[in-house]
């Protein structure tokens, strides 16, 4: 069902020196599938992350944040699918720590040097014994295997690579991500991991991960539900200490950020393309706003509206629903007479009503496409923002009415 | 599909002295159905209303607000279904005024003494000629006919009556409302009209309509989409000048407000029970909050969540989705360890996780019911709020993918 999304070619995904990937079948939710990923990092790395703003954040989010805040060097990340270890209270945190401790003992490092991540069903105890028992059974894997091992309701693995010339050296960056429901990130997506062998200090990496998330994973919505487990992690393997990027003013910062942003947007869009039940991919661009926040508010009002999403599913240019969403986005002094609404290149509405030149057939032609751009010109400022979303189909209901069974 | 909602008995709907109802077939969207309602009021009445906060509010909302603000006595309300006259710009306002003028000429009153209301498709020109041509064809009707004449995707008409002894006299109140999609009122529902022969001054009636709306129509959500046309109108026919309620301290104010609130909650709940595709009716009560706003924010986060709504459709106690919604409701200092979550009388979660006594079979038993209460105890204050909502079904998608055709 995914919209214009194909499985990444295995050989297009570049290995990142300093990163070792392994997967296992731990039987967390059901037997016979890869559900455990371990990412081990060589010495010299730095790691930074952004996490969900959901107050019911999962135990692994609490533990990963604490371990990152401890300032010790990260040795490994351990990721399970099949159970989110969220809404699990004190026992959930103890379980997440037990997983870290088991892996740390094997690797000969401190528990704080392991970051745990989980995705899956909420409010059910983590089967921690199965997870720990699965750790020693893991086998060498590549990035495509890793992307497969973190899927839940995703229909396809999501991974991408970029390369970049920095200071005469080729820098590699590769990342993976997973959706496919409870996607309305308020920090990062459900799970995203990007590694690069560019060498970046921890404070600069933290700035980088936030700036990249704000224009990639923080710009998507599948169903408006902000997850308990959202985590987006950026890894610098630090294999080239001579090319250290130690400030945002460093000449390599901007090109590195541009390439990481490009990669992260591809992964974030892949989550939307593979959104639960998605048949359409919508780009909502809001221009001429006064602030980034108001542009995003209008974009998300459109991206979240069940009425807009069902109209896109039906390929029905019932475009009044777009105006209604713009109108309730919360801009109290919005002058609706100044707004222009485009569907791809077709001007639909202006001067507070339907544009005289608009023909239903033109709207119909655009709505029939699998990828559609909604462009809203607010004409009250110079700021713009883009969010990506998908439609709302029978299959969204089916998937979420069936998900636990 | 409506949940525990039956067509009101015609003889249970009490006529309100001073109110004349008439309906017509104007052929606004398609021929052969009653789509035009005229409510004519005898002299002595007062009318007050609350309207949508959507910035793209419809032309009839703009005109009705202006006419109410003019302070002249209302002579008639004219309501059409089949076209919302929203997103129609300057021409839309001219069309709404033309309808008022046509009716005013017939009634021998000023244009400002007529209030227009519309519901239906957005962004399409109002067929004003057909509407005006339909006016003289109207026939006498009762409240059930009136409720039928304002339906769009509603499957059943919504109407109710109450009586009350005030100062030795029986006071009557009867109201009608319509849903059934684009329901997330921020002032009032799509359309609601309640008339009483209690005699209330205009400023007191305005206070009354706001207070009643805040605990009835402003507490429901079908799909989270705030309409362009929401209007809730309260009519006092003023037939008994000796019993004038001229302040909120008047001894009759509180009992009248209680009866009107009771009536309005029934109508608001009827909209949810008949929500597009609804198979379940959910009451979400949030207790122990610090403010009304935070209780409503938590209630609406649950009521709007597509993941919660599809789980209710499936009768699946996938209750982690409820915790996730509570967590992203926007209370930044929420201590999730203090929250208790009940499904009917079953304690599901406490201390940040699943309650040790919770059995899946108990959750399953409650979820199988057509009416379910979700109770969230925040344990941080003394305020509570209740919102009502319905589930998200295949039929919601079907109805909204088909609505225009």
Determine the residue among B82, B85, B301, B306 to mutate to test chain A binding: the one whose Cβ has the most chain A Cβ atoms within 10 Å.
B306
Does the beta carbon of B368 lie under 8 angstroms from any beta carbon of chain A? no
State the Cα–Cα distance between residues B5 and A14, nearest whole angstrom: 60
CB atoms under 10 Å from CB of A316, counted, come to 19
Q: What pLDDT does residue A87 have?
A: 86
Residue carrying structure tokens 């709940």: B269
Kindly list the strands in the beta sheet with A281-289, ordered across the sheet, starting from the edge strand earlier in the chain: A220-221, A383-390, A281-289, A371-377, A340-343, A346-350, A353-354
Closest residue of chain A to B339, computed from CA coordinates = A56
Pick the range with the lowest mean pLDDT from B51-60, B68-77, B114-123.
Answer: B51-60
Cβ neighbours of residue B53 under 8 Å, at least 6 residues apart? A328, B186, B187, B226
* Lowest-confidence pick of B124-133, B135-144, B267-276, B281-290: B267-276
Count of Cβ atoms closer than 10 Å to residue B311 Cβ: 24
pLDDT recorded at residue A188: 39
Rounded to whole angstroms, how far apart are CA atoms B390 and A145? 41
Q: Is the pLDDT of residue B183 over 80?
A: no
**Do residue A124 and residue B331 have CB atoms under 8 angstroms apart?**
no
Residue B5 pLDDT more than 80? yes
Please give the domain boundaries of chain A with CATH numbers for all domains: 10-273 (3.60.70.12), 281-402 (3.10.20.340)
Q: Which alpha helices (DSSP H) does A150-277 contain, by range?
A: 202-214, 253-273
Rounded alpha-carbon distances, angstroms, from residue B62 to A353, B16, B213, B224, B284: 14, 27, 19, 23, 33
Residue B335: how many CB atoms within 10 A of its CB?
Answer: 12
Q: Is B330 on the interface with A (CB under 8 A)?
A: no
**B356: contact with A, CB 8 A cutoff:** no
Helix count and strand count (H, E) for chain B = 11, 17
> What is the predicted pLDDT for the residue at B403?
62
B177 or A402, which is more confident: B177
Q: Give A 177-206 residues with CB within 8 A of chain B.
A: 181-182, 184, 186
Q: Which of residues 99-118 of A touch B (CB under 8 A)?
A: none
Beta bridge pairs of residue B221? B389
Q: Is A16 on the interface with B (CB under 8 A)?
A: no
| Contacts across the A-B interface (CB distance below 8 Å) | 236
Neighbours of B222 (CB within 10 A): 30
B319 CB neighbours in chain A (<8 A) are 123
> How big is the CA angle at A369 (ends A365 and A374), to the nearest 5 degrees?
85
Asked if A284 and B46 touch (Cβ cutoff 8 Å), the reply is no
Residue A223: per-residue pLDDT: 73
- Cβ contact B318–A121 (<8 Å): yes
pLDDT digits (tens, 9 = 90+) for B89-107: 899 999 999 999 999 999 9
Q: Which residues of B touch A228 (CB under 8 A)?
A: 320, 323-324, 327
Query: Rounded CA gap, B168 and B171, in Å?
Result: 9
Q: Is A148 annotated as a binding residue?
A: no
- pLDDT value of residue A94: 97
Give the residue with greater pLDDT, B50 vs A189. B50
Nearest CA in chain A to B121: A320
Instruction: State how far the alpha carbon of B130 is from the alpha carbons of A356, B78, B85, B133, B403, in Å.
Output: 21, 14, 14, 5, 22
What's the rounded Cα separation, in Å, for the pair A238 and A196? 8
What amino acid positions of B are annotated as catalytic residues?
189
> Is residue A235 classed as helix, strand or coil in its secondary structure?
strand
Whether residue B87 and residue A304 make contact (CB cut-off 8 A), yes or no, is no
Find, among A390, A190, A379, the residue nearest to A284 by Cα.
Answer: A390
Q: Which of A238-247, B240-249, B274-283 has the highest mean pLDDT?
A: B274-283
The mean pLDDT of B318-326, rounded to a whole number, is 89
Pairing of strands B46-51, A169-178: unpaired
Compute the nearest-CA separation of B19 from chain A (Å): 33
Q: How confident is residue B187, by pLDDT bands cut at 50, 70 and 90?
A: very low
Do B307 and A182 count as a contact with CB atoms less than 8 A apart?
yes
**Residue-level pLDDT at A222:** 74
Residue A178 labelled as part of a binding site: yes
Greatest extent of chain A over all pairs of C-alpha atoms, in Å: 72
Asked if the peptide bond before residue A394 counts as cis, ω within 30 degrees of 0, the response is no
CB-based contact A318 B393, cutoff 8 Å: no
Whether chain B has a CB inside 8 Å of the CB on A122: the answer is yes
Q: Which residue of A has its CA nearest to B303?
A: A225
Q: Are A153 and A142 in contact (CB under 8 A)?
A: no
Q: Find where tokens 């270890």 sit.
A: A85
CA distance B214 to B52: 13
Measured from the Cβ of residue B294, the count of other Cβ atoms closer than 10 Å reads 20
**pLDDT tens across the length of chain A (405 residues):** 688 888 999 999 999 999 999 999 999 998 999 999 999 999 989 999 888 888 888 899 999 999 999 999 999 999 999 999 988 889 999 999 999 999 999 999 999 999 999 998 888 899 999 999 999 999 999 999 999 999 988 889 999 999 998 888 889 999 998 887 766 654 334 688 888 988 899 999 999 988 988 888 888 877 777 777 778 888 998 877 777 899 999 999 999 999 999 998 998 888 889 888 899 999 999 999 999 999 999 999 999 888 899 999 999 988 888 998 898 888 989 998 899 999 999 999 999 889 999 999 999 999 999 999 999 999 999 999 999 999 999 888 888 887 664
Q: CB-CB: which of B53, B310, B403 is closest to A318?
A: B403
Distance CA B111, CA B100 (A): 5
Q: Which of B121, B223, B306 sits opposite A320 (nearest CB)?
A: B121
Contact A8, A166 (CB under 8 A): no
| Active-site residue list of A | 189
For residue B188, what pLDDT band results from cuts at 50, 70 and 90?
A: very low
Does A306 contact B228 at a Cβ distance shorter than 8 Å?
A: no
| 3-state SS, one letter per residue, for A349-394 | EECCEECCCCCHHHHHHHHCCCEEEEEEECCCCCEEEEEEEECCCH
Longest dimension (CA), chain B: 72
State what percent of residues in chain B have pLDDT above 90: 61
Please give the residue that has the higher pLDDT: either B60 or B57.
Answer: B60
The b-or-e profile of A33-59 (16+ CB within 10 A means b, else e) is bbbbbbbbbeeebbbbbbbbbbbbbbb
CA distance A378 to A340: 7
Direct distance between the N- and C-terminal alpha carbons of chain A, in angstroms, rounded to an integer:
20
Residues 210-249 of A with CB under 8 A from B: 223-228
The Cα of B380 is separated from the nearest Cα of chain A by a number of Å equal to 15
Q: Residue A328 and residue B225: Cβ atoms within 8 Å?
A: yes
Distance CA B189, CA B218 (A): 7
């Amino acid at each position: 069902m995914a919209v214009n999304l194909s499985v990444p070619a295995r050989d297009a995904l570049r290995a990142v020196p300093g990163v070792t990937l392994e997967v296992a079948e731990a039987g967390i939710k059901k037997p016979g599938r890869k559900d455990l990923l371990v990412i081990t990092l060589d010495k010299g790395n730095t790691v930074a992350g952004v996490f969900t703003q959901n107050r019911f954040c999962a135990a692994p989010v609490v533990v990963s944040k604490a371990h990152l805040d401890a300032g010790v060097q990260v040795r490994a990340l351990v990721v399970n699918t099949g159970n989110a270890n969220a809404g699990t209270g004190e026992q959930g945190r103890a379980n997440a720590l037990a997983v870290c401790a088991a892996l740390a003992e094997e690797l000969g490092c401190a528990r704080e040097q392991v970051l745990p991540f989980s995705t899956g069903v909420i409010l059910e105890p983590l089967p921690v014994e199965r997870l720990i028992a699965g750790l020693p059974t893991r086998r060498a894997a590549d990035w495509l295997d890793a992307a497969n091992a973190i899927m839940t309701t995703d229909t396809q693995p999501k991974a991408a690579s970029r390369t970049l010339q920095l200071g005469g050296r080729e820098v590699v960056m590769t990342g993976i991500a997973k959706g496919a429901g409870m996607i309305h990130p308020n920090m990062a997506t459900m799970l995203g991991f990007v590694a690069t062998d560019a060498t970046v200090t921890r404070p600069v990496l933290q700035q980088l991960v936030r700036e990249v998330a704000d224009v990639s994973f923080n710009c998507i919505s599948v169903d408006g539900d902000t997850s308990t487990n959202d985590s987006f992690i950026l890894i610098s393997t630090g294999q080239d200490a001579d090319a250290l990027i130690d400030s945002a003013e460093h000449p390599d910062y901007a090109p590195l950020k541009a390439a990481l942003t490009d990669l992260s947007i591809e992964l974030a869009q892949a989550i939307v393309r593979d959104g639960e039940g998605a048949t359409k991919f919508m780009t909502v661009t809001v221009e001429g706003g006064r602030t980034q926040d108001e542009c995003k508010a209008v974009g998300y009002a459109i991206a979240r509206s069940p009425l807009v999403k069902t109209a896109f599913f039906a390929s029905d240019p019932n475009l009044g629903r777009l105006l209604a969403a713009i109108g309730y986005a919360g801009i109290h002094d919005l002058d609706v007479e100044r707004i222009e609404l485009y569907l791809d290149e077709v001007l639909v509405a202006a001067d507070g009503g339907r544009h005289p030149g608009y023909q239903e057939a033109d709207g119909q032609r655009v709505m029939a496409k699998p990828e559609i751009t909604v462009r809203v010109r607010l004409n009250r400022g110079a700021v713009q923002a883009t969010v990506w979303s998908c439609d709302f189909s029978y299959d969204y209901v089916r998937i979420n009415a069936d998900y636990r069974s």
